[in-house]
Structure 1
Amino acid sequence: MAARKLRPYFQAHTIKVLTDQPLRQVLHRSDTSGRLVKWAVELSKFDIQYLPRPAIKAQVLVDFIAECTIPQQSITSEAVEIPVVEEITTPGGLVGVEAATPVRTESATVPAEQDVSSEALWEEYVDGSSSKSSCGDGLILTGPENFILDYALRFGFLASNNEAEYEALNAGMNLAVQTRTQRLRAYCDSQLVANQIQGLYEAGDERMIKYLAKVRLLASKFKCFEVIRIPRTENTKADVLSKLAPSGYTALGSICMEFLKKSSIDNKAVEIM
């Protein structure tokens, strides 16, 4: 369609097509038939180069900020107390006023839906993958209005399965803190991690103690936070992301990708306001 609508440009210039799909292989297959043959013949008239589409990291950040940033007026607005007054007629016929209990009302500039979204329940599914050669995490953060964020983390260090689970949980909690949500529920398939956070198991290892302390610090930033253990069969998407992250791909379509040089407990603590 683009070649037909913009034929003069296609005839005068070299056209570079940035795509994550194998269009060149599809159009040049020897067993191509039907409409693909017609399209291949039609496009062969032009100088078209098919190049891999690079990751648009800046666009991912812009989309995330646009969807998750609270409007400025809702942050600066404050509740105002307006006293309710009643008229009182004295025996002499004079009219006075008596102040009743003040009624709190919100400034008119605060959208009503902001309170609803901040109090809405957000959910995250996390999973970690660990092997002798590489480690990674996968997490899915879901919120109101069908908001879904797929996130993959690739490690520059080796970690155990439990450490990878904690890293995924910490990353998801940090993302939720940045969206200013007040209620978060996390799902993981690690019995050890879930029971340590719930207080059923004690963390005996030094690194597990540090990870548990970091989770509790992040949990204090929510009004409501809980961790629920689920079977691995109900956590397949996060499991796929955790195994895809260490593979070395840098462009995963709509999936956000991050590389961690150090573990979260080895980095200096950063206070998130």
Structure 2
Amino acid sequence: MAIKSQVLANFIIEWSEVQMPPAVVGQEYWMMYFDGSLMKKGVGMGLVFVLPLGLCMRYMVHIHFPSNNVAEYEAHVNGLRIAIDLGIRWLNIQGDSQLVIDQVMKESSYNNAKIAAYCQEVRQLEDKFNGLKLNHIPRCLNEVADTLAKVASGRELVPMSIFASNQYKPSVYYEELEQTSDAPPALGSGANRPLAPSNPEVMELDEDLAIELDPLSDWRMPYLDYLLHEALPIDKIEARWLRRRAKFFILTRG
């Protein structure tokens, strides 16, 4: 009975820490460790928050949607949102995924609409903090978050004093773009022949329309520049995205 009572008391204390507004600690940074895990049974994420006074709060989330390689991004985004809900304004983030951290910090490029959406969401959430640090650490220093993520992805029994939840849809919206090469497709028949868009949008173009369009405000201008003159943005990522998206338009002259 004494052991059970102590476990209940510890749970009440940790629960109270989450429900009550955090104490003002000046500019002391909270620590956040995050990790994602992909296993045969499912996908999960683990989060660990360490208060400036040394107390810890641990979270695990079961992911119930196809996530492929975005478990780490989901863990990062969820961690930032939890921190904002807790009233944290100074946060030191630690993660063992070098690729995720480099892409979020704009140190490496990406050409995937899904990853771009996650990075954009992270940057919007970062604006809500007064101070934010993001550091890469070895996996051996991220064992607690890693263990929580594995427990969540393995659909194992949730340990005591761990806050667990379920997530049924992605944290961000993104449009899946067809991964095709930049070279024009070869014409032919058979299974390798590229398929045309099933419902292309028709962009009607009057003779004087190009003169009347405002290049700074009209969304059609980049597409018209490419369809009429094969002009592309200087940025390679934007150019690749525009080239793929332009395939879904048909240009007609009135």
Once the two structures are TM-superposed, the CA of residue 59 in structure 1 deviates from its matched residue by 8.6
- Is the CA contact (8 Å cut-off) linking 1:203 and 1:212 kept in structure 2? no
Q: 1:156 aligns with which of 43, 64, 73?
A: 64
- The answer to whether 1:136 aligns with 2:136 is no
Q: 1:130-163 deviations in whole A, cap 9, x for unaligned?
A: 13441000110111222311111111112133x1
Once the two structures are TM-superposed, the CA of residue 195 in structure 1 deviates from its matched residue by 0.4
- Is the CA contact (8 Å cut-off) linking 2:18 and 2:86 kept in structure 1? no
Once the two structures are TM-superposed, the CA of residue 266 in structure 1 deviates from its matched residue by 4.0
- Name the residue aligned to 1:101: none
1:135 and 1:216 map into 2 onto residues whose CA distance is 24
Question: In structure 2, the residue corresponding to 1:120 is in which secondary structure?
Answer: coil
- Compared CA separation, residues 157 and 118, structure 1 to 2 (3 A): farther
Question: In structure 2, the residue corresponding to 1:240 is in which secondary structure?
Answer: helix
- Is the CA contact (8 Å cut-off) linking 2:35 and 2:96 kept in structure 1? yes
Whichever residue aligns with residue 179 of structure 1, its letter is: L
- Is the CA contact (8 Å cut-off) linking 1:126 and 1:172 kept in structure 2? yes
1:159 and 1:132 map into 2 onto residues whose CA distance is 13
Q: 1:240 aligns with which of 144, 147, 153?
A: 147
- Name the residue aligned to 2:19: 65
- Is the CA contact (8 Å cut-off) linking 2:95 and 2:137 kept in structure 1? yes
Percent pairwise identity: 28
The number of aligned residues is: 171
1:155 and 1:170 map into 2 onto residues whose CA distance is 13
2:94 and 2:54 map into 1 onto residues whose CA distance is 18
Whichever residue aligns with residue 191 of structure 1, its letter is: Q
1:132 and 1:249 map into 2 onto residues whose CA distance is 13
- Is the CA contact (8 Å cut-off) linking 2:39 and 2:154 kept in structure 1? no
Higher strand share: 1
Q: 2:33 aligns with which of 113, 119, 125?
A: 125
TM-score (normalised: structure 2): 0.60
TM-score (normalised: structure 1): 0.56
- The answer to whether 1:206 aligns with 2:122 is no
1:223 and 1:126 map into 2 onto residues whose CA distance is 20
Instruction: List aligned pairs for 1:23-42, cutoff 5 A.
Output: none
Once the two structures are TM-superposed, the CA of residue 128 in structure 1 deviates from its matched residue by 0.4
- Name the residue aligned to 2:79: 172
Whichever residue aligns with residue 48 of structure 2, its letter is: I
2:132 and 2:51 map into 1 onto residues whose CA distance is 14
2:87 and 2:17 map into 1 onto residues whose CA distance is 16
Once the two structures are TM-superposed, the CA of residue 179 in structure 1 deviates from its matched residue by 2.3
The structure with higher relative contact order (CA 8 Å, sep 6+) is: 2
Mark the structure with the bigger radius of gyration. 1
Q: CA RMSD in A?
A: 2.9
Q: 1:223 aligns with which of 124, 130, 147?
A: 130
1:248 and 1:132 map into 2 onto residues whose CA distance is 10
Once the two structures are TM-superposed, the CA of residue 218 in structure 1 deviates from its matched residue by 0.7
Whichever residue aligns with residue 19 of structure 2, its letter is: I
- Name the residue aligned to 2:213: none
Once the two structures are TM-superposed, the CA of residue 250 in structure 1 deviates from its matched residue by 5.2
Q: 1:111-143 deviations in whole A, cap 9, x for unaligned?
A: xx73xx152101111110013441000110111
Q: Which stretch has the larger CA shift, 227-236 or 212-221?
A: 227-236
2:49 and 2:16 map into 1 onto residues whose CA distance is 17
- The answer to whether 1:185 aligns with 2:92 is yes
